[in-house]
Every structure is written in C-alpha cells, then in structure tokens.
Structure 1
Amino acid sequence: MPSPKHPPRSFDHVDTWVFDLDNTLYPHHVNLWQQVDKRISEYVSRWLNITEDQARLIQKDYYQRFGTTMRGMMTLHGVRADDYLAYVHQIDHSPLEPNPAMGAAIRKLPGRKLILTNGSVDHVEKVLERLALRGHFDGVFDIIAAELEPKPAAQTYERFLTLHDVDPTKAAMFEDLARNLLIPHQLGMTTVLVVPDGTKDVIREDWELEGRDAAHVDHVTDDLTGFLETLAQPNS
C-alpha cells in the first residue's frame, strides 16, 4: 500500500530556496538535456568501443543504478570525471532564452537562493547566462562539490547542507525528478516537483515523469515562473 499523503508543507518559514538546474530553471520542452544525452551516448560508445545503440542501453542502466551515467562509468570503467564532464557539456545553449519574469520572481523570494545540480559549474554558468539569471543565486553546489556522488545519494544532500550551512527545515527544494526529492523531504524540506507543460512535446523516459503523486512531493507545478511569482506575493 502506498504511504498516505500528508498535507503539503508551506513556504512561510522558508529562508533558503534550492533549485535544480536542468529541466527545472528552464522548460522541459526546450529539450536541451537531449543534447547532453546524445553526447553521453557518444562518450560511452567511444570509451567502451561499442555501437551507440549498445552504449545507450548501458547509459540508461547506469543512470538509474548510479544516479548518473558518469558515476557508473567511473566506478566500473575508470573514467575521469573532468574528461567526461568537458565532453558531455559541449552543447549548443542557444535554444535557451532570457526569462526576466523568473529573474524578478527569484529576486523577490526572501532569503538565500542556491543551485544544487548533478552538472558542472561551467554548465550552470552557461545556462544562467542564456536565461539572464546570473547574479540571482548565492551559490552553486555541483557534481564536483558533491565529490562526484550525484543526487539522489543521501550523502550528497548532507554535504550540500553542511557546506552552505542550510537548515533543511527552513528550506524549499525545486526539482524535476521526483526521486531526487525523497531525501530532501525526509530531511524536512518543502518539496516542489517541476513537471513538463502538458501542451508541449518533451523527450523523457517514462520513469522520469513519474512521482507527482508521491508522498514526498509537497507541490507540483508546470509553470515555475508563475509558481514563484505567487510565492513572492505578500501573505502567499
């Protein structure tokens, strides 16, 4: 039997706002991650000297088992993180467009704003530049800061909370994968799942789109900018 869903946690006590990056701060239908996804397949194919079809099966297996394909490739095949990250993030960021409305909403949120991502700082900076969101965040915790242990590993969240001195009971987490919200919710964070706009085509695995009814998901939105604008309003 599934766990009963408790009333969703509120935001009136929140003083730290934590955001995932990919498919969270920009819309799913941009499908920017698909470029990274293809680069990962190419990397696995070349490293293991197999076809891209074979590489894709391995890639998806490692992604689910290890949290990222990179972690699986490091653990089982001796891949260097720096080489991997440099290769897979060589993508075209031009599909991203400035989002001044989101920037304004983030600026109005009371307290600190942080990014927690399985990507690299270099990738974060390029995305924020295209979105015109540089200067809106007080810190970035990337895969290197996580000592190459990706979300949803519990120790990654613990490292993040310690490094940035975050009280999880006074924090909110925004994320596009429900599984990455389980530990934050257990730690006391208010959780928000960002899902695709139902009117747009997105390229995602079925399991990546699951979890909106999970007990550890407090809120669900397909419009992060609108959601943040509501939170930024007095007495919201």
Structure 2
Amino acid sequence: MNDMPKPASVARLAQHAIEAQAKGFDHVDTWVFDLDNTLYPASSRLFDQIDDRITSYIANRYGIDGISARALQKYYYRTHGTTLRGLMAEDGLDPANFLAFVHDIDHSVLEPAPDLAAAIARLPGRRFVLTNGSRRHAESVAGRLGVLDLFEDVYDIAASNYVPKPAQEAYDGFLKLHGIAPERAAMFEDLSKNLVVPHALGMRTVLIAPRDGEPDALERATSPEDFTGAPHVDHVTDDLAGFLTALSIVAAR
C-alpha cells in the first residue's frame, strides 16, 4: 500500500521537487525546525493566543492598559529580540513564570497533520526542534500535530539559557550540544531574521512564508524582501508538508 500523501496539486509538488533539487539538499543529514508558525500554519491563529497572553502579562505586571502594554511589548521585542529577553534584561523577570503564563493556551485548535508527519518521517538523518518557546509548549504543539516522536530533541529557550534566536549564541549552543555540522544541516523558519546566522554557518535555509490571507504574527517582518529574495534565504515556501514531500522524492532518485 502506498503511504505517500496525496498532494492537492501534482504540478505544485513537481515544482517543489524541481526547486528543492536546485537548492541542493542531497548533502543534508540534519533537519532543524522552528516551532510556532512553522510546523503549523499561521491560519490556526495559535500564536495569536500567545501574543495576547504576552500583552496581558505585561498589562498585569505594570498595571497598565492593553494599548500601553502592547506598545511596551513591541519595544521589548524590537530592542531585545524577544519580549521575554527584554523583561529579563530590564526588569529582572522570572522566565519560568512568564513562559508558564503565556503558553497557557488552547492547543486543541491544532489539527493532526498526517501529511506533515509522513514527510518529516521520510527525511534521512536526524531531526530537531529549535524554538524560542518552552519545551512544554513545543511538546504540546508537536503532540497535537502527531510529529513529536519524530524529533530527537526539542532545544527550547531554557536550554539556550534564555538567549533567543536570532542571537549567534542560541545556534552555537544548540549545534555544540548535539554535535551538528552546520554545513550538513537545514533550517526551517517563519522569520527571515532567524535564518541569517544559520545561513552564515553554512546551513541550507528555508523560509516558511504565510499563505494568502494568513495573519502576520507580532514577530513577523513586514518588508516584502523578507519573503522573496533575501540572500540568507535559500528557499521560500508556504507549504511545508509539500516541500518536505518533494525533498523525499528528490532524495529517492
């Protein structure tokens, strides 16, 4: 029985395969995935829940209204890379308390993703999740999608000593811990800025762009070049499962 997922469009899958082959993934034996808005589509609006919880946390902490909290949230993000990092640097925040609060969300909005699971399972070599979120959140997401058991490890923000992507230190710690040769690895991310360091290290980089009509998260860059021809982005796709399926087709040749 053929367990290959049925693509919505054979022509689309064929185009994925052509592009994947052109980008040269045949040397890759380690596959690294961001979590939020990468393993699941932004259309689920799961990250919107986290975004709202972050705003609520700041409003409660400082006793301010939602609009002011949102502005402070964006300031911390733009200045420090993540809101958590800003709160830790400028206010001595306990990160465990913050993460428990902002990830107390409804994960049931995520549907199982059998096509994605099958595509990830076919990737040759090792597979990891590298996230600025918590391990508990990552495991909840991956469990709902049906892909948790396919990953060797989840490298979360605590493992990174709360230094977030896109900081070089976040990637260096991950690669060293797991003995990964970056020139033989590929990174999948929904934020262009988080692919700058991986590309410089020699990793193949894939940007997961939002599909038409999908909401942009707070973190998502807004300039068009972030989803088109940035030099640190080797490929852009809005269909992770289709792209990975294409990789398995290319690898089987």
TM-score, with length taken from structure 1: 0.93
Paired position in structure 2 for 1:79: 93
1:1-236 maps to which residues of 2 (within 5 A)? 9-198=23-212, 200-205=213-218, 208-210=221-223, 211-212=226-227, 213-233=229-249, 234-235=251-252
**Mean CA deviation greater in 181-190 or 132-141:** 132-141
Distance (Å, rounded) in 2 between the aligned partners of 1:207 and 1:145: 24
* Identical columns (%): 50
Shift in CA distance, 90/206, structure 1 to aligned 2, threshold 3 Å: closer
Instruction: Return the TM-score normalized by structure 2.
Output: 0.87
- Say if 1:170 and 1:189, in contact at 8 Å, map to a contact too: yes
Contact 1:195 1:209 in 2 (8 A): no
Instruction: Please give the per-residue CA displacement for 1:135-164, whole angstroms capped at 9, x wherever unaligned.
Output: 010111000000000000001100010011
Shift of 1:209: 4.3
Q: CA, structure 1 residues 89+160, in 2 after alignment: closer, same or farther (shift >3 Å)?
A: same
Q: 1:147 to 1:182 in 2, by over 3 A?
A: same
Give the corresponding residue for 1:3: none
Alpha-carbon shift at residue 201 of structure 1 (Å): 3.1
Alpha-carbon separation, structure 2, partners of 1:43 and 1:88:
7
Structure 1: which 5+ runs fail to align? 1-7
Say if 2:237 and 2:243, in contact at 8 Å, map to a contact too.
yes
- TM-superposed deviation, 1:191: 0.1
In the alignment, is the contact (CA less than 8 A) between 1:34 and 1:203 conserved in 2?
no
Name the CA distance, whole Å, in 1 between partners of 2:157 and 2:214: 29
> Do the aligned partners of 1:177 and 1:209 also contact (CA within 8 Å) in 2?
no
Check conservation: 1:16, 1:171, Cα contact below 8 A: yes
Distance across 1 between alignment mates of 2:242 and 2:99: 32
Aligned-pair Cα RMSD in Å = 1.4
Q: Unpaired segments of 5 or more residues in structure 2?
A: 1-21
